[in-house]
Structure 1
Amino acid sequence: MALPQKKYYRQRAHSNPIADHCFDYPAHPDEYNWSNLYPALHGNSEVEFLDVGCGYGGLLVTLSPMYPKQLMLGLEIRVKVSDYVNDRIQALRVQHPEMYQNIAVLRTNAMKYLPNFFHKGQLQKMFFLYPDPHFKKAKHKWRIINKWLLSEYAYILAEQGIVYTITDVKDLHEWMVVHFEEHPLFERLSKGELESDPIIEKLYESTEEGQKVTRNNGDKYVAVFRRISDKWKD
């Protein structure tokens, strides 16, 4: 089974996350049948890594063999792009029967339905790689990182869970850093902590967008945050 070709799945880069779309979603996380996405799933395993706006699935494919015991899910709002990722995963599973069983993609709107799919404290890692910058000030409310959504991310993240962000837009990087640092349930990781994390280097080149930035000699800005305890510090 050959890997899909991106030229047959091209779609406009931007999608209005506020607009009404037709999505199926469960009323409660327990009502979703995950075996449809992970047919080799056994036991009560739950998704632990979540790539929000996964694009063409590069990060999922990169991390899958690194963390074979963790279920990973990519969320993508664009129809053709999510179709590509799904076809890519299916082809990889056929080519490598013992691999890539732990990754999947789901077309949904992460700004609306995350609590429908994930329990409180379920996720260990979340990724926001090259999110849409929505440059116009009037559209900043569409940015995937904002003070309201951060509380939702804190809800589905386990304590000590990690959020990874990278962008080539300095203004967006500063926006994300400010919002995370102002939120009481997140703290930024130190440079030393980043150096010891094997995932960090994968953020730069694993995605199509990251490779495009490299080709254009653009800058890349990384910021990583930890979900701290619900207990207020003295």
Structure 2
Amino acid sequence: MVGPPKKRQKRDDKQEGQMPQKKFYRQRAHANPFSDHDLTYPEIPAAMNWGDHYPAYVATVPAAVPKDDPIATEDRNEYGVPRMTKQVEVADIGCGFGGLLFALAPKMPETLILGLEIRTSVTEFVQEKAKALRVQHSSDAAETVPGGYQNVSCIRANTMKFLPNFFEKAQLSKIFLCFPDPHFKARKHKARIVSTTLNSEYAFVMRPGGKVYTITDVEDLHMWMVEHFEAHPSFGRVEGDELEDDEAVKVMTTETEEGKKVERNGGKKFVAVFKRLEDPPWP
């Protein structure tokens, strides 16, 4: 007797441009960041092949140049990966099913946006959705949006271990930490995505004036994140009109899957934003 088709078969059955269905990509809500997840990561940022994720932004040599001509190598760096016309500037750490990514993409059409997610199936869902949206909103399609979702992608990564492997110093302008695992038990606090050590890594990859956006429905975690960012010399809290007028805050508050669930359940959302400060001059 033949049983129902497996999830992998159902995923593979969809046609080009067809949106993936979450029910075929379900996975546990959280993953242990200290476990060995058999991850692939570049030894340094220059060795990362971004061309597979943002093909529309790959720098190419003129078609008339013979492939055996030395100039044909100018579209690849010393690590053999394609040169890009843009760098990733926005990172959503723990992006889940990508609600924030796909809401930001048309609002920031000239900016490369990346989701980082540790769970295999969830990462694959976001990647497949990005591919489907690019097909649906291609230039010859009936409906288009700014950027056509060519500027959004997702990678499977453990940012607690490998964030500087992907991003150069001062590369990012925005980092989002949306509804991270609260790790309620005190002995688990070392696994929280905000800590003194991790904040220094965020400071390293962020340009001066860049912002870290945090949101959670757990007040204790919110207070933890505020305490650790305010205590870090590279960050200052954003408040007042600058916070109120920030479009990214509005999108983050309404467009993530967790945020929508909190809204449905009548819960509270705690938001805090922190700006990367200029480094003091060397004495």
> TM tier, shorter chain?
over 0.9
2:24 maps to 1:8: yes
Shift of 1:200: 1.2
Shift of 1:184: 0.3
Deviations 1:174-219 (A, max 9, x none): 0000000000000000121111111111111211111100111000
Cα distance between partner residues in 2 of 1:214 and 1:231: 41
Shift of 1:2: 1.7
Q: Which amino acid aligns with 1:120?
A: K
SS of the aligned residue for 2:198 comes to helix
Q: Which amino acid aligns with 2:20?
A: P
> What residue number does 1:177 align with?
226
Cα distance between partner residues in 2 of 1:163 and 1:33: 25
> What residue number does 2:117 align with?
76
2:49 maps to 1:28: no
Question: Of residues 100, 103, 106 in structure 2, which corresponds to 1:65?
Answer: 106
Q: RCO greater where, 1 or 2, for CA within 8 Å and sep 6 or more? A: 1
Q: Which runs of 5+ in 2 are unaligned?
A: 1-16, 60-84, 140-147
Q: Which amino acid aligns with 1:40?
A: A
Deviates more, 1:138-147 or 1:40-49: 40-49
- Structure 1's consecutive aligned runs of 4 or more residues displaced over 2 angstroms after TM superposition are none
- Of all paired residues, the percent bearing the same amino acid is 53
Cα distance between partner residues in 1 of 2:91 and 2:256: 15
> What residue number does 1:95 align with?
136
Cα distance between partner residues in 1 of 2:115 and 2:101: 7
Cα distance between partner residues in 2 of 1:205 and 1:88: 20
Q: Which runs of 5+ in 1 are unaligned?
A: none
> What residue number does 1:18 align with?
34
Cα distance between partner residues in 2 of 1:130 and 1:27: 29
Shift of 1:31: 0.8
Question: Of residues 219, 226, 229 in structure 1, which corresponds to 2:275?
Answer: 226
Deviations 1:131-186 (A, max 9, x none): 11011111000000000000000000001111100000000000000000000000
2:184 maps to 1:168: no
Structure label with greater radius of gyration: 2
> What residue number does 1:146 align with?
195
2:262 maps to 1:213: yes
Q: Which amino acid aligns with 2:32?
A: N
Shift of 1:36: 0.6
2:165 maps to 1:116: yes
The count of corresponding residues between Structure 1 and Structure 2 is: 233
SS of the aligned residue for 2:208 comes to strand
2:253 maps to 1:197: no
Question: Of residues 71, 93, 109 in structure 2, which corresponds to 1:52?
Answer: 93
Q: Which amino acid aligns with 1:113?
A: F
What is the TM-score with the length of structure 2 in the denominator? 0.81
